Amino acid sequence: MSLPPGFVEELRNRLSLSDVVGRKVMWESKKTNAAKGDYWAPCPFHTEKTASFHVDDRKGFYYCFGCHQKGDAITFVRETENVGFIEAIEILAREAGMPMPARDPKAQEKYDRNKVLAGVMEQAVQYFRLQLNTGAGAAARDYINGRGLSGEIQTRFEMGYAPNDRAALTKHLLDKGAKIDEIVECGMAIKPDDGGHPYDRFRGRIMFPIRNAQGACTAFGGRAMDPNARAKYLNSNETPLFDKGKSLYNHAPAREAAGKADCLIVAEGYMDVIALAQFGFNHAVAPLGTAITADQLALMWRIHPEPIIALDGDKAGMNAAMRLIDLALPLLEAGKSLRFCILPEGLDPDDLLKASGAEAMQDVLDGAKPMVDLLWQRETEGKVFDSPERRAALDASLRNAIKTIQDRSIRNHYGAAIKDLRATLFAPKNAGTNRPWQPNWKPGTARKPFNAPALAGTKSTLLAQADQGMARLRESVILAAAMRNPFAAQKFETALERCPISTPDLHEIQNALLAKLHIELSNDNASDTLISAMSEQLGYNPIERLFTLKPVREHPYLKANTNPDFSERTLKEELDKHAALIGSAHEIKEAEQDLQGLADEGITWRIQQSTQAREKAIRAEDEDQGSSNENTQELKNQLQKMLDDEIWVKKKR
């Protein structure tokens, strides 16, 4: 069977050799440097204990310094699986998610045709380069020099000029032996529908050759010299040689430079890449006049596991970043992600480099944010969350985004990160050590020194009252009640999400509960289905973990097949009680901090009232179910009255 040559090259580009080889070997952790694509292992082709087998993931080749076996992914599969070339291709194609091409008896003919087209493209590169140095190219030279681009950079990127003439390139290529249909097919000329003479696609533009990963010119980009041109930048159309959604500008040079820099920069356009190279950032690529595609993301991850997306500091740049988030989330894998650096507003890399130099650009790159921060910014920026409905809408939007992540571990970590950001956003406005509890205290003024022997030892007494064991018991009851009645848990989902959990293992169970709360459930076995799904995520049965505490295990409303109404009532009461206790503890903690200031009867009374409220809540835990609801409500009313009365403020007698 003959295969299109482009198919094999695309297959090599899509696959990571380290992934292919990694199925057969165990990498030596001390010698391996995954960030640089440098992998070492004992050789799979001969018996040895040392790691002499080397994989260069960036170049796509392996070599054993012991038995001298060498090759690429195709060779490796052929040798280790004992299969032929086509069978090896089929194995790798399945792994890469590429369908095998149908049998094509004209494959060699297509290959030969593409070689001819590639030759035409190289002739065009040389022609444009020569034209830049003619009289017709004077304005283009002035523009390039005005951008501060050195002769070395112009040569490296093979910059040229397309004369403002309808047929200059076409005539030149015909004189060099090319045929008109070849010139049209490779995209350098356009044939009118009315049957008129073909004319040059690029006219009056500075030209940028676009080369593939193997270094062959497949297309061009052109910047118009006329400020009134309909398109400032124009790319080649798609041809047998060029698919813009599967190509990156500066691919091959950036791949090599990224290995040395341990970084890949993704800029917006050609001039950004060239400007970065002018200042020593050779490890930059750019998409080709379109939003980044999934295929381009795969190419970037082949070069570096965590590319930095460097976008202009304007609205268009931010919009591009936000769209990319939706594309990337479902494709994330462990060790493969994105970071984002947004340049100062109104600046592109060229502006920043010229104004402040390479050091300023490096500072921006060093401050690149993880993608979860951009996701949070997208969902919250410019919005007000002053009502339960708006907060619920934020929760729903974030859940919808996170659930697209296929990797379960990454999805869980995103959920935990979002929960932390959410807790910060919705923290009490006066929380912290700077809350002005002192009467007549104004921000920016010093607090009065604390000198109150009567309160000596109060702080240590208050701290001693923190009973972590009781907190864990309450939290265990809440989580168990939610698992016993998933529909009640859905009803109180917002309260469950905000419920502060004090111990890491219970916090893990809480995250799993929220992650699995909306799976498909039936009335008959909803609890068992939820617990099973959580067990699969956690690696252990969460209800058994909670039942290690005897009071939880023997709770009458937490048994299997409990009346749903009873388990729902238990969940609601415990959530209310827990919120009241946390609120009371918060009041006490902030009062402790204010003991550094003036001790007056307001603070003293506030501490006394908060302590009494806390003790009352603790006593309520020992009372029967019939009275606990009344006590909890009374406690909540008391705490609210403390806030309404501003008990920390001295009252005039």
Query: Average of pLDDT values for 217-242?
Result: 92
Q: Cα(131)–Cα(126) distance, rounded to whole angstroms?
A: 9
Please check the confidence at residue 627 and state whether its pLDDT lies above 60.
no
For residues 188 and 120, the answer to whether their CB atoms sit within 8 Å is yes
Q: Cα(220)–Cα(160) distance, rounded to whole angstroms?
A: 10
pLDDT score, position 640: 54
Q: Cα(521)–Cα(9) distance, rounded to whole angstroms?
A: 47
CATH of domain 107-242: 3.90.980.10
- Nearest CA to 207 out of 282, 165, 173, 157 is that of 157
Helix (H) and strand (E) counts in the chain: 29, 15
Average pLDDT of the chain, as a whole number: 81
Parallel, antiparallel, or unpaired for β 284-285 and 308-313?
unpaired
What secondary structure does DSSP assign to 33-64, as a single string?
Answer: BGGGTEEEE--SSS--SS--EEEETTTTEEEE
Strand partners, 210: 219
pLDDT in tens, 530-588: 898 898 888 889 988 888 888 888 888 888 877 888 888 888 888 888 877 776 665 55
Tell me the pLDDT band of 647, cut-offs 50, 70 and 90: very low
Tell me the pLDDT band of 591, cut-offs 50, 70 and 90: low
Type of residue found at 227: P
The highest-confidence range among 294-303, 309-318, 497-506, by mean pLDDT, is 294-303
Fold of 5-96: DNA Primase; Chain A (3.90.580)
pLDDT in tens, 49-60: 788 999 988 888
Q: Is 29 helix (H, G, I), strand (E, B) or coil?
A: coil
Please check the confidence at residue 653 and state whether its pLDDT lies above 50.
no
pLDDT score, position 442: 39
**Residues in CB range of 397: below 8 A, 6 or more apart:** 379
Encode burial over 151-166: b for 16+ CB neighbours within 10 A, e otherwise: eebbeebbbbbbbbee
Please check the confidence at residue 309 and state whether its pLDDT lies above 90.
yes
Comma-separated ranges of CATH 3.40.1360.10 domains in the chain? 246-380
The CA-CA-CA angle for residues 279, 354, 292, to 5°, reads 70
Comma-separated ranges of CATH 3.90.580.10 domains in the chain? 5-96
Please check the confidence at residue 648 and state whether its pLDDT lies above 60.
no
pLDDT in tens, 399-412: 999 999 999 899 99
Please check the confidence at residue 625 and state whether its pLDDT lies above 50.
no
| Other Cβ atoms closer than 10 A to 196 | 8
Q: Work out the angle between the directed axes of helices 408-425 and 504-516 (0-180°, nearest 10).
A: 110
Who wins on pLDDT, 652 or 404? 404
Query: Element (H or E) spanning 70, and its range?
Result: strand 70-71
Parallel, antiparallel, or unpaired for β 205-211 and 160-162?
antiparallel
pLDDT score, position 564: 85
- The model carries a pTM of 0.59
Please check the confidence at residue 79 and state whether its pLDDT lies above 70.
yes
Tell me the pLDDT band of 639, cut-offs 50, 70 and 90: low
Please check the confidence at residue 208 and state whether its pLDDT lies above 50.
yes
Tell me the pLDDT band of 634, cut-offs 50, 70 and 90: low
Q: What is the 3-state secondary structure (H, E, C) of 467-526?
A: CHHHHHHHHHHHHHHHHHCHHHHHHCHHHHHHCCCCCHHHHHHHHHHHHHCCCCCCCCCH
pLDDT in tens, 412-435: 999 999 999 988 888 765 444 444
Query: Average of pLDDT values for 322-342?
Result: 91
Question: Mean pLDDT lowest for which of 245-249, 485-489, 519-523, 611-615?
Answer: 611-615
pLDDT score, position 586: 59
Tell me the pLDDT band of 606, cut-offs 50, 70 and 90: low
pLDDT score, position 462: 32
Query: Average of pLDDT values for 356-374?
Result: 92
Task: Give me Rg for the CA atoms of the chain.
Answer: 33
Query: Average of pLDDT values for 187-199?
Result: 90
pLDDT > 70 fraction of the chain, expressed in percent and rounded: 80
pLDDT score, position 7: 77
Query: Average of pLDDT values for 303-316?
Result: 85
For residues 268 and 348, the answer to whether their CB atoms sit within 8 Å is yes
Tell me the pLDDT band of 2, cut-offs 50, 70 and 90: low
Strand partners, 369: 340
Please check the confidence at residue 450 and state whether its pLDDT lies above 80.
no
Tell me the pLDDT band of 465, cut-offs 50, 70 and 90: very low
Comma-separated ranges of CATH 3.90.980.10 domains in the chain? 107-242
Architecture of domain 246-380: 3-Layer(aba) Sandwich (3.40)
For residues 170 and 163, the answer to whether their CB atoms sit within 8 Å is no
Q: Cα(475)–Cα(369) distance, rounded to whole angstroms?
A: 34
Type of residue found at 508: E
What secondary structure does DSSP assign to 348-370, as a single string?
Answer: -HHHHHHHH-HHHHHHHHHTPEE
Please check the confidence at residue 196 and state whether its pLDDT lies above 60.
yes
- Nearest CA to 161 out of 195, 127, 201, 115 is that of 127
Question: Mean pLDDT lowest for which of 456-470, 486-500, 583-597?
Answer: 456-470
For residues 632 and 624, the answer to whether their CB atoms sit within 8 Å is no
Q: Cα(495)–Cα(477) distance, rounded to whole angstroms?
A: 14
Parallel, antiparallel, or unpaired for β 339-345 and 217-224?
unpaired
pLDDT in tens, 89-141: 888 888 888 888 765 566 667 778 888 999 999 999 999 999 999 999 999 99
- Nearest CA to 208 out of 244, 226, 234 is that of 234
Sheet holding 53-56, edge to edge: 38-41, 53-56, 61-64, 70-71
